[in-house]
Amino acid sequence: MRIKVTLFAAFRDIVGAKEENLEIKDGMTVQMLLDEYVRRFPPMGRFRDHIILSVNKEYGPPGKILRDGDEVSFLPPVSGG
Protein backbone atom coordinates (compact mmCIF):
# COMPACT_ATOMS: atom_id res chain seq x y z
CA MET A 1 0.00 0.00 0.00
CA ARG A 2 1.12 3.56 -0.59
CA ILE A 3 1.22 6.51 1.76
CA LYS A 4 2.47 10.07 1.57
CA VAL A 5 4.84 11.44 4.21
CA THR A 6 5.07 15.21 4.61
CA LEU A 7 8.09 16.65 6.41
CA PHE A 8 8.28 20.05 8.06
CA ALA A 9 11.08 22.40 9.15
CA ALA A 10 14.13 20.53 10.50
CA PHE A 11 12.81 17.19 9.22
CA ARG A 12 12.67 18.56 5.68
CA ASP A 13 16.32 19.56 6.02
CA ILE A 14 17.36 16.21 7.50
CA VAL A 15 15.58 14.11 4.87
CA GLY A 16 16.30 16.51 2.01
CA ALA A 17 12.72 16.46 0.77
CA LYS A 18 9.42 18.14 1.55
CA GLU A 19 7.49 14.92 1.01
CA GLU A 20 7.92 11.28 0.10
CA ASN A 21 5.57 8.70 -1.36
CA LEU A 22 6.29 5.31 0.16
CA GLU A 23 5.23 1.73 -0.32
CA ILE A 24 4.66 0.20 3.13
CA LYS A 25 3.52 -3.18 4.39
CA ASP A 26 0.04 -3.84 5.71
CA GLY A 27 -0.32 -3.38 9.46
CA MET A 28 2.37 -0.72 9.77
CA THR A 29 1.72 1.78 12.55
CA VAL A 30 2.71 5.42 12.76
CA GLN A 31 5.34 4.43 15.36
CA MET A 32 6.81 1.81 13.05
CA LEU A 33 7.03 4.41 10.28
CA LEU A 34 8.73 6.85 12.64
CA ASP A 35 11.19 4.14 13.70
CA GLU A 36 11.99 3.50 10.04
CA TYR A 37 12.67 7.21 9.46
CA VAL A 38 14.97 7.37 12.49
CA ARG A 39 16.82 4.32 11.15
CA ARG A 40 17.17 5.90 7.69
CA PHE A 41 17.91 9.41 9.01
CA PRO A 42 19.59 9.12 12.45
CA PRO A 43 19.54 12.90 13.16
CA MET A 44 15.74 12.65 13.46
CA GLY A 45 16.32 10.53 16.56
CA ARG A 46 17.20 13.53 18.68
CA PHE A 47 13.59 14.75 18.25
CA ARG A 48 12.01 11.30 18.77
CA ASP A 49 10.30 12.03 22.10
CA HIS A 50 8.89 15.35 20.93
CA ILE A 51 7.78 14.77 17.34
CA ILE A 52 4.19 15.73 16.65
CA LEU A 53 2.53 13.05 14.53
CA SER A 54 -0.36 13.73 12.20
CA VAL A 55 -2.37 11.31 10.05
CA ASN A 56 -4.64 12.84 7.43
CA LYS A 57 -4.24 16.28 9.03
CA GLU A 58 -5.35 15.11 12.48
CA TYR A 59 -3.10 14.35 15.41
CA GLY A 60 -2.40 10.64 15.28
CA PRO A 61 -1.43 8.33 18.12
CA PRO A 62 1.76 6.30 17.53
CA GLY A 63 -0.20 3.03 17.58
CA LYS A 64 -2.55 4.04 14.75
CA ILE A 65 -2.46 1.53 11.91
CA LEU A 66 -1.85 3.16 8.55
CA ARG A 67 -4.11 2.59 5.57
CA ASP A 68 -3.60 2.91 1.85
CA GLY A 69 -3.63 6.56 0.80
CA ASP A 70 -2.95 8.00 4.27
CA GLU A 71 -0.90 11.16 4.62
CA VAL A 72 1.45 11.17 7.59
CA SER A 73 3.15 14.36 8.74
CA PHE A 74 6.13 14.69 11.06
CA LEU A 75 6.22 18.06 12.76
CA PRO A 76 9.14 19.09 14.97
CA PRO A 77 8.55 20.40 18.46
CA VAL A 78 7.74 24.09 18.61
CA SER A 79 8.35 26.62 21.29
CA GLY A 80 6.73 29.92 21.82
CA GLY A 81 6.39 32.57 24.29
Nearest one of 15, 18, 62, 6 to 38, comparing CA atoms: 15
Range(s) of the domain holding residue 60:
2-75
Number of domains composing the chain: 1
Mean pLDDT score across all residues of the chain: 92
Nearest one of 24, 11, 1 to 52, comparing CA atoms: 11
The whole-number mean pLDDT for each consecutive block of 10 residues of the chain, a chain of 81 residues, reads 95 95 96 96 91 91 95 81 53
CATH for 51: 3.10.20.30
| pTM of full prediction above 0.95 | no
Domain assignment present for 80: no
